[in-house]
Amino acid sequence: MVVAGLTGCATGSLQYKQLESKPAITGLSERVVLDEVPFFPQQTYQCGPATLAMLMNWQGEPVDPDSLVERVFIESRQGSLQAEMLAATRRQALLPYVHDTQFSTLLQEVNAGNPVLVFQNLGFGFYPVWHYAVVIGYDLERQEIVLHSGTTEQLTQSFRRFELEWRGGDYWAMTMHRPGEFPRNAEPIAYLEASAGLEQAGEHEAAALAYSAATQRWPDQQIAWIGLGNVQYLQRQYHEAEQAYRHALMLNPESAAAHHNLAWALMRQNNYAAAYEPAQEANRLADDQGERYRSAWQAWQEARP
């Protein structure tokens, strides 16, 4: 549990009241409880490490909450911020996916077998009490949510109470996945941003798995191919990176990034003749797309045979 000076005040009608009339929940099981999601009771102010450990263990990573405290717990705030929660997930080579703010999305994820980590405000507007919990189930007929929360395993709350507390946390929700696997409601941009987070965290193998899966699921997403090429390049798999960049150029021949990175991949293979054209194209396109794309042309001129 976290007492902090964050804001999470939202207005408007509660979403759960419209669930029965929404086509989005068609096909949901009437009742779901993911009984096998592990439970770790939180220590004082340490709901962040506890909830992360629940999801990590669910994904087969035997992580103890105590080992996560230094990664996510901020003493001055007596708790954990979302940025630290996401970063800790990436350092475990797992992909954190932040969902939209729809109640129906949360139910769909649980129905698909994905426990959902949520951020709540258990206090009042003038005295917020921030808290993380894991949604592991629901009952549509009884309008109840089931959570691992605080020191209580399988806590049952009404939709109304849960949503009021979740709305106080701006409906923030996250699921955790092995790279290459997808949440039920995966959207390409959000998934690719999550994949880029793995890349930036230095988890190149995990990022490559995520980008590769994205290219298969959304083959027309150029950024997926560039991302795949980038992590392959960082792994010194220059021929594979070359192929990814060429695919990206098939989708958008006017991409300075794809030309620039292709030129570098070719030069790393000592194929300066083939690198000439993409390096020159990247330099031309840099006028509109960014000065950084001139470096391949400059490197080609300095190192050309």
198 shares a domain with 126: no
Task: Name the domain count of the chain.
Answer: 2
Q: Which is more confident, 53 or 11?
A: 53
Q: Are 123 and 165 in contact (CB under 8 A)?
A: no
Quick one: the chain helix, strand, coil %, rounded to 5? Answer: 50, 15, 35
Q: Which of the residue ranges 28-37, 71-80, 234-243, 280-289 would you say has the lowest mean pLDDT?
A: 71-80
153 shares a domain with 77: yes
What pLDDT was estimated at residue 178?
A: 96
132 shares a domain with 209: no
210 shares a domain with 118: no
206 shares a domain with 66: no
55's enclosing H/E stretch is helix 47-58
| φ/ψ bin of 94: left (φ > 0), alpha (ψ from -120 to 50), beta (otherwise) | beta
What pLDDT was estimated at residue 144?
A: 96
Domain assignment of residue 4, yes or no: no
The Cα–Cα gap between 109 and 21 comes to 19
Per the structure, the complete domain to which residue 144 belongs is given by 15-177
Domain assignment of residue 233, yes or no: yes
CATH code of the domain in which 232 resides: 1.25.40.10
What pLDDT was estimated at residue 21?
A: 65
What pLDDT was estimated at residue 36?
A: 96
Q: Which of the residue ranges 75-89, 193-207, 218-232, 272-286 would you say has the lowest mean pLDDT?
A: 75-89
Tokens of residue 116, six digits: 């959902």
137 shares a domain with 196: no
The single residue listed with the structure tokens 């475990």 is: 92
Q: Are 217 and 210 in contact (CB under 8 A)?
A: no
> Over 90: is that where the pLDDT of 236 sits?
yes
What pLDDT was estimated at residue 161?
A: 96
> Over 60: is that where the pLDDT of 7 sits?
no
Neighbours of 178 (CB within 10 A): 15
What pLDDT was estimated at residue 297?
A: 96
In SS3 terms, 258-298 reads as: HHHHHHHHHHHCCCHHHHHHHHHHHHHHHHHHCHHHHHHHH
**Mean of pLDDT values over 271-282:** 96
| φ/ψ bin of 292: left (φ > 0), alpha (ψ from -120 to 50), beta (otherwise) | alpha
The Cα–Cα gap between 261 and 101 comes to 36
> Over 60: is that where the pLDDT of 166 sits?
yes
What pLDDT was estimated at residue 12?
A: 64
Q: What is the pLDDT of residues 37-51, one digit of tens each?
A: 999 998 765 788 999
- Give the 3-state secondary structure of residue 158: strand
What pLDDT was estimated at residue 129?
A: 85
Q: Which is more confident, 42 or 254?
A: 254
For 7-42, the DSSP string reads -----S--GGGGGGG-GGGTT--SEEE-TTS-----
Q: Which of the four pLDDT bands, split at 50, 70 and 90, describes residue 26?
A: low
The single residue listed with the structure tokens 């955790």 is: 176
> Over 70: is that where the pLDDT of 75 sits?
no
Q: Are 93 and 198 in contact (CB under 8 A)?
A: yes
258 shares a domain with 110: no
> Over 60: is that where the pLDDT of 2 sits?
no
231 shares a domain with 145: no
Does this model's pTM top 0.85? yes
Neighbours of 254 (CB within 10 A): 12
What pLDDT was estimated at residue 76?
A: 44
What pLDDT was estimated at residue 72?
A: 76
64-90 residues labelled b (16+ CB within 10 A) or e (exposed)? ebeebeebbbeeebebbbbebbbbbbb
Q: What percent of the chain has pLDDT over 70?
A: 90
173 shares a domain with 192: no
Q: What is the pLDDT of residues 110-159, one digit of tens each?
A: 999 999 999 999 887 678 888 999 999 999 999 999 999 999 999 999 99
